[in-house]
Amino acid sequence: MVSKKTKAVIGVAAAAAGVAALIMAAKKMHEKGYDKKAVKMLRDYAARLRAEAARLEKKAKKKLSGRAKSATKKKSKSTRRVAKRKK
């Protein structure tokens, strides 16, 4: 079984490989004189990449805020227990 952290690393590596392949393809297109198509391809991919990054950032913020809330809940519960024991 693969951990979530490993999946994230694999995803980032795959995205980096995809970007590298796209840049190489754009360079080849430039050499052959297809500049407009190369630029369009790069812009389209950049737009998709920005949308994906925004989605992942939103998801990460949601997870982090959830962790912070649960940590404060746990802390407040533990302080209540200590206060009850002292009485």
Mean pLDDT for each consecutive 10-residue tract of the chain (87 residues)?
80 84 88 90 87 83 72 62 60
Cα 87 to Cα 40, 74, 78, 82, 83: the distances in Å are 71, 21, 15, 9, 7
| pLDDT for residue 12 | 81
What does the buried/exposed string (b/e) look like for 2-15 if buried means 16 or more CB atoms within 10 Å of the residue's CB? eeeeeeeeeeeeee
| pLDDT for residue 20 | 87
Is 39 in contact with 22 (CB distance < 8 Å)? no
| pLDDT for residue 87 | 55
